[in-house]
């Protein structure tokens, strides 16, 4: 299960290998916000050269949005560099996904950053080739002129979680935390998890373990799940009680899902 996506600026090729060695599940070479307009051609060349010699099976490329003057050159790069997944900035419609797919045989991580993107979330999530939705909460707040603590951000996040589930996609990816403090990063991830998210975009390698720690089930939860599984194994066809509560199928499935996390590899 992919829990951590680490950004690395596309114009800093000396950091590409370091990012891959950071322990993040995926790295995202960023051609958009992290790269000034004058540096974008050099960033594309740097990525193409690195892609020709490196193992990029865990690498995504964040391309500029469909309305950007840099989009066509990014699409040309996708033709030349086969990747398993690409991140599309400012996704607002299934048509944008389809256009990326003309140059890209892999899947698309659709980054929702605007009111239009949120209103199109169900259609975007259901579009062929979409692997997952991601939420750029900072850009969304800018689009709607919201304060950083606005409850509207949580409403938008839940909407993306619902759209993802309805389309049978994995739970969406939470936006970046600008603070590097591990406690802040973990708290942000825990909050996003309560809203239906199961991964996070990271901007520094130090954030990766904090995200993992926040998503890991507690020892108490795992012990409870083990007892539920043991009770069911002892009586798989009868009504069950544990700690004075009935155990029905949804409870059993939740316990099994918790136990499955202990065997995941990243």
Residues 163 and 231 in one domain: no
State whether 16 and 121 are in the same domain: yes
State both tokens at 64.
Answer: 């500029």
Query: Would you state the structure tokens that stand for residue 77, as one six-digit string?
Result: 């790069």
CATH number at residue 123: 3.20.20.60
pLDDT for the residue 265:
33
- The count of structural domains within the chain is 2
What does pTM read for this prediction? Answer: 0.88
Same domain for 226 and 171:
no
What's the Cα-to-Cα distance from 223 to each of 63, 88, 226, 252, rounded to whole Å? 44, 40, 5, 13
Same domain, 229 and 209: no
- Of 151, 126, 129, 147, nearest to 138 (Cα)? 147
Structural domain boundaries enclosing 27: 4-215
Q: Are 145 and 239 within one domain?
A: no
- pLDDT tens string 213-239: 999 886 677 777 777 777 777 777 666
| Confidence label for 262 from pLDDT (cuts 50, 70 and 90) | low
């Amino acid at each position: 299960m992919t829990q951590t996506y680490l950004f690395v600026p596309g114009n800093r090729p000396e950091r590409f290998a370091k990012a891959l060695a950071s322990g993040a599940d995926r790295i995202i070479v960023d051609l958009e916000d992290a790269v000034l307009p004058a540096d974008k051609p050099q960033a594309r060349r740097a990525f193409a050269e690195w892609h020709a010699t490196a193992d990029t099976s865990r690498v995504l490329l964040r391309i500029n949005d469909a309305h950007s003057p840099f989009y066509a050159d990014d699409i040309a790069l996708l033709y030349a560099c086969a990747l398993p997944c690409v991140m599309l900035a400012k996704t607002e419609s299934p048509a944008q996904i389809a256009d990326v797919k003309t140059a890209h045989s892999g899947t698309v991580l659709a980054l929702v950053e605007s009111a239009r993107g949120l209103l199109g979330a169900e259609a975007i999530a259901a579009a062929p080739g979409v692997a997952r939705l991601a939420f750029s909460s900072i850009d969304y707040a800018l689009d709607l002129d919201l304060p950083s603590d606005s409850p509207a951000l949580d409403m938008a996040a839940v909407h993306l979680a619902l759209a993802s589930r309805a389309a049978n996609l994995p739970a969406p990816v939470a936006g970046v935390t600008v603070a590097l403090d591990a406690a802040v990063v973990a708290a942000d991830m825990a909050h996003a998890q309560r809203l239906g998210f199961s991964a996070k975009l990271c901007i520094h390698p130090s954030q990766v373990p904090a995200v993992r720690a926040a998503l890991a089930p507690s020892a108490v939860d795992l012990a409870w799940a083990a007892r539920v599984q043991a009770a069911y194994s002892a009586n798989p066809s009868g009504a069950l009680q544990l700690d004075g509560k009935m155990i029905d199928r949804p409870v059993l499935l939740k316990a099994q899902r918790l136990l499955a996390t202990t065997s995941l590899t990243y």
